[in-house]
Structure 1
Amino acid sequence: MKKKLSFLVLTAMLMLSVLSACGKSGGNNEAAGSSPAASPSESASASPSASATTPAPKKDVTIKIFQFKVEIADALQKLADEYEKETGVKVVVETHGGGEDYNALLKATLAAGEEPEIFNSGGWAGIVPYMDRAADLSNEPWAKDLVPATVAQITKDGKLLGMPMNMEAYGFTYNKDLFAKAGITELPQTLDQLEETAKKLKAAKITPWELTNEWWSMGIHTLNIALANQPDPAAWIEDVKAGKKTFKDDPVMKQWLRLVDIMFANGQDKPLTTDYNTQVAEFAAGKGAMVQHGNWIQGMVDEVDKNLNLGMMPVPLGDKPYIFAGVPNNWIVNSKSAHPEEAKAFLNWMVTSEVGKKYIATEFKFVPALTTIAPNPEAVGKIGGDFATFSTQHPDQIKDWNWDRFPDGITQQWGSAMQEYLGKRITGDQLLEKFDKAVKDIMKK
């Protein structure tokens, strides 16, 4: 209970800094996004031992990053190019996300004998398949600066096995102007009120939700709404894995099914052919009033309409509505790669140099996972800003992410079952049965 409370408080404190960071400085660092890029001599820290004023020696090596976050793919490669100019170390970025099964592709890459220097992994059970190659980063210079709430999920046996990528949150991102057009003046607090909200939007000829066919959105984020609403998510999940409890017989899952039914009954036409990019693009174009995503879509939305009036609303379920916050993924240094030390040096440079910090806060539009990187409120945008306000006013309505407490492979099966349910090929009871079967099958292995 203390750990959970700590997570909520720290998340609220971090998001509060999003609102207050603009124009402030942290130590000797100016606010992210407001200072010019430092010269190589000012920001070079390509190896942990490099001084702040002496550029690291150039090395004729190439390191590869195998990463999943499509939203930052272009910006990450540009940052990699900056690093090469400064150090001579070439960094190649390979991105697999969106509609691709990143974990399956990563495992296939490793099985084929390819060993990228840096790759992404979730925390908790998500890191288990890679523990034989995840380098211990506990003694890296930046480790002491991590936001405390981000550390436990990627720590095993006292070792820090990755660098938390950033902090994210999701609920229902919604178009405030479309809500106003439909005469909606208060956000729904219950499932009954959510259903009424959908009716009002439809009456105003506005599509309530933009849905997607992506397995990860439904099998991870949608289902986490139910997982997080358990009285004790960690304990409940352990009981499910042990076969002591089931999805099918759980009262929270029954409530969650109604939430899903409301969403699926009030989405756009042909959601089964709508991928992630199309979903966000159509939402950004004002074709739907809500989308189940978080602050990570801000950059994609801005490409369509920077002036869209958006907010993040908590999701009604149980006693009150909640927003869900956590670490989306971690940077893992592959100890079996050709250049693990150069990989550590790149990550260190990314979070300590002025160039790297500016990219994280401004170009990636991240809420940083390190206290030494000031968030850029302007870059974070309206979605993150709305969450910041909500989290500071209602810290008791922030819940965490729990899907990585299950072994890898389960969420993919859940997502496949959700696709069947979206296509009306199975019933609600059959959906929950498939959830249970997925857990049982994976836990047997």
Structure 2
Amino acid sequence: MKHTFVLFLSLILLVLPGCSAEKSSADTAKKTLTIYSTMSTDSERDTFRKLAAAFEKEHRDIRVSLHFPGNDYENMMRVRMAANDLPDLFDTHGWGKIRYGEYTADLRDMEWTQDLDPNLNSILKNKSGKVYAYPINQAKDGLAYNRNILDRYGINPPETMDDFMKALRTIKEKSKGSIMPFWFAGYDKSSFAQYYDQFATPLLITDPAHNEKKQLTNGTFHWSKFTYLSDILKQMQKEKLINIDAVTAKKSQLIELMAQNKIAFTMQGGTLGQDVAQINPKVKVGIIPTPAIHDGDDPIWIGGERYTLAAWKDSPHVKKAKEFIAFMARPANAKQMAEATSLPSGLTNVKADIFYANDYEHYQEVRVEPYFDRLYLPNGMWDVLGTAGQELAADILTPQEISKKLGREYKRLREQSETQGAEEQ
């Protein structure tokens, strides 16, 4: 009996290493696709993870490794670009051509490009036809607003800055100050940066008589022309048309305040509408294009690519990376991602059931202009715009001083960018 047990144990020991080696060999045979994304909410990430798992089931030889670095994303990607060691797939987060273009594989031969929304052509394609990235969704930023409040006071959604100011004053007067006309979450300086960046386009780009594209591009722009936006913001503050705690208010407060009918307008979009509806279904949140500033000009959407998938051109797994993109571009999968992010799909053959679908349909003829800073400002100016807004609202700098500061930083960051570019060459 003792000999039988020893023999049995010996057989087990002989078999187990074989099983272990077989499993190890199978794991080694798998190719790992590393993906970096800027997705920030749980619903977005969870949907992405589920689709990645479904892809793995279809492709037994591939393992998908997802990474969501959060606020460290840009710095991490800069380091990896400098070392020419990028993930197999990565999110270009608005910088597909300008920042990441030289690192991306050309996707023009992929089937989904036939359905690329023309609004994204100038952002994701170059003149020769190269396609830089697959758009998981697309941004159309404007002003989020409380429909209940505008209906209550007989206010039409504003189409011009004059209309907007009139609406804010009417809300303040008729609500006797109980409703905040325009709310900022300025603790996060991106709230102010978004204001400057979004309204800079109708101020300096879209109206032919006030077009500063050339000057902004070649570095000769006079920043005194930017002062208007600080003047307007300061006027809103003086008239108490924005929240008194604009510099310290946090984004986490927005949903609850909007659900309590205490806010009329805000710059925040994304999942705001559906988040508010979950707390108070009676509150109807809508979104409108960014109002025009100059007489005769039209409202516009500010946007372009939001989340994307670009394939690193030097990846050892470029073919597999493109297979993943093709999987994500299937209409059913593209629809899932668009709905998870509450934004329109980047493909014309995908109709997503998103919260603001009716608003986007209503304003479907309104053109989309790229984010101002992505085309006309050097890298680093977004943070400068945000800090400038905080300093203005905190009475640290005047509108004129803000423009002077922006001019200095614009020049410094342009020179820094040119120096870095020369060193890389």
TM exceeds 0.5? yes
The corresponding residue for 1:346 is 324
Q: Normalising by structure 1, what TM-score? A: 0.73
Query: d(CA) in 2 for partners of 1:303 and 1:61?
Result: 42
State whether structure 2 residue 408 is matched by structure 1 residue 437.
Answer: yes
Query: Cα offset for 1:316?
Result: 5.4
2:348 partner letter: T
Contact 1:220–1:403 (CA under 8 A) maintained in structure 2: no
1:370 partner letter: L
Query: Cα offset for 1:435?
Result: 1.9
Query: Cα offset for 1:350?
Result: 0.7
Query: Cα offset for 1:76?
Result: 1.6
1:291-370 map, 5 Å: 291-295=266-270, 297-305=272-280, 307-314=282-289, 315=291, 317-319=293-295, 322-329=299-306, 330-352=308-330, 354=332, 356-370=333-347
Structure scoring higher RCO (CA < 8 A, sep ≥ 6) equals 1
State whether structure 2 residue 354 is matched by structure 1 residue 380.
Answer: yes
Contact 1:117–1:337 (CA under 8 A) maintained in structure 2: yes
Change beyond 3 A, Cα 1:121–1:361 = closer
1:389-400 map, 5 Å: 389-392=362-365, 395=366, 399-400=369-370
Query: Cα offset for 1:409?
Result: 1.9
Q: Deviations over 1:10-54 (max 9, x none)?
A: xxxxxxxxxxxxxxxxxxxxxxxxxxxxxxxxxxxxxxxxxxxxx
Q: Deviations over 1:188-237 (max 9, x none)?
A: 44154144234236515112233122333432453231223332599613
SS of 1:368's equivalent?
Answer: coil
The corresponding residue for 1:147 is 117
1:259 partner letter: I
1:416 partner letter: T
Q: Deviations over 1:227-252 (max 9, x none)?
A: 2333259961331242322121x2xx
Query: Cα offset for 1:304?
Result: 3.9
Query: d(CA) in 1 for partners of 2:370 and 2:288?
Result: 16
The corresponding residue for 2:13 is none
Contact 2:172–2:180 (CA under 8 A) maintained in structure 1: no
Query: Cα offset for 1:294?
Result: 3.3
SS of 1:156's equivalent?
Answer: coil
Contact 1:414–1:438 (CA under 8 A) maintained in structure 2: no
Change beyond 3 A, Cα 1:399–1:342 = closer
SS of 2:286's equivalent?
Answer: strand
Contact 1:210–1:282 (CA under 8 A) maintained in structure 2: no
Contact 2:136–2:338 (CA under 8 A) maintained in structure 1: no
Change beyond 3 A, Cα 1:90–1:419 = farther
Contiguous gaps of at least 5 residues in structure 2: 1-27, 417-425
Query: Cα offset for 1:148?
Result: 1.8
Change beyond 3 A, Cα 1:428–1:64 = same
Query: d(CA) in 1 for partners of 2:81 and 2:250?
Result: 27
Change beyond 3 A, Cα 1:59–1:83 = farther
Query: Cα offset for 1:307?
Result: 5.0
Query: Cα offset for 1:136?
Result: 1.1
Query: d(CA) in 2 for partners of 1:365 and 1:305?
Result: 18
Contiguous gaps of at least 5 residues in structure 1: 1-57
The corresponding residue for 2:230 is 257
The corresponding residue for 2:173 is 200
Pick which of 263-272 and 161-170 moved more. 263-272
Query: d(CA) in 2 for partners of 1:113 and 1:301?
Result: 43
The corresponding residue for 1:244 is 220
Query: Cα offset for 1:268?
Result: 3.2
SS of 1:136's equivalent?
Answer: coil
Query: Cα offset for 1:328?
Result: 3.2
The corresponding residue for 2:395 is 424
The corresponding residue for 2:197 is 223
Q: Deviations over 1:32-86 (max 9, x none)?
A: xxxxxxxxxxxxxxxxxxxxxxxxxx97233222222324223222222222233
The corresponding residue for 1:3 is none
The corresponding residue for 2:9 is none
Q: Deviations over 1:381-418 (max 9, x none)?
A: 1x3422421344xx47x655332113322222222222
The corresponding residue for 1:210 is 183
Change beyond 3 A, Cα 1:206–1:111 = same
Query: d(CA) in 2 for partners of 1:430 and 1:247?
Result: 10
C-alpha RMSD of the superposition = 3.2
Change beyond 3 A, Cα 1:165–1:261 = farther
Instruction: Determine which of 152, 162, 168 is the counterpart of 2:139.
Output: 168
Aligned-residue identity in percent:
20
SS of 2:247's equivalent?
Answer: helix
The corresponding residue for 2:265 is 290
State whether structure 2 residue 148 is matched by structure 1 residue 177.
Answer: yes
Change beyond 3 A, Cα 1:185–1:129 = closer
Contact 1:209–1:267 (CA under 8 A) maintained in structure 2: yes
The corresponding residue for 1:119 is 90
SS of 2:90's equivalent?
Answer: strand
1:380 partner letter: I
Change beyond 3 A, Cα 1:185–1:412 = closer
Asked which structure has the greater CA Rg, the reply is: 2
Query: d(CA) in 1 for partners of 2:134 and 2:156?
Result: 39
What count of residue pairs does the alignment treat as equivalent?
373
SS of 2:301's equivalent?
Answer: strand
